[in-house]
Amino acid sequence: MMRPVAFGLLVLVSAVTVATAQEVSLGHAESSAADAAAEGSDWPGAIAHARAAAEAYVPGSPWADRGMRRLAAIGHAAETRSDVPNALLAYGAMRTAAMATHVPYAGASHWLAEADEGLARVASSSEGPGHGAATSQAMLEALRRSKGPSDFSLVVLALTAASTFGGLAVLALGSAGRRAKVAQAVATGGFVAYAAIVLTS
């Protein structure tokens, strides 16, 4: 009984280690590519690479934060030279990356707030003096309302996915009898709950 469990834990730890190493390597490569593109004033390329670096989030790795800082710098520089398309692209990429790497119940990311403010500021820059502030505020409120799935939904999704894979793992180990029936029920229930949450989110 203990041998299959130990083997399963070893496989899990190995998979996590490999995935972590891949994300760190990806973050490094994409951050370097973003720097090179920015030096050549290839703003769309720099934004794409910086976003990829920002989304390669691993606790303790510097590359995701560096990618976010590159996006912020590109957005601010684009605003300064009145380059609205690239400013919107940079802040939009920052917002997407912040939402993609959000950790449930960890609080709102300051990068998300900065991206929302940048998008609202740039969108209102084309308005007249009497309408710019109102447009900026209205857009900022709209962006803050569209935060994606709630933290509770993300936690439930993680639990249902874990129950599904856990049940399948028990079945894969060749369990029989009542144990197999319980594992099958857990896997099926987890999958159904996962699908229901995804479809209603």
140-159: per-residue pLDDT in tens?
566 556 655 555 555 665 66
Considering the entire predicted model, what is its pTM? 0.64
Helix then strand then coil, in percent of the chain rounded to 5, is 80, 0, 20
Cβ proximity of 90 and 47 under 8 Å: yes
Cβ proximity of 75 and 91 under 8 Å: yes
12-45: per-residue pLDDT in tens?
567 667 777 888 888 899 999 999 999 999 999 9
The contacts of residue 150 (CB under 8 Å, 6+ apart) are none
Greatest pairwise CA separation for the chain in angstroms = 74
91-104: per-residue pLDDT in tens?
999 999 998 887 65
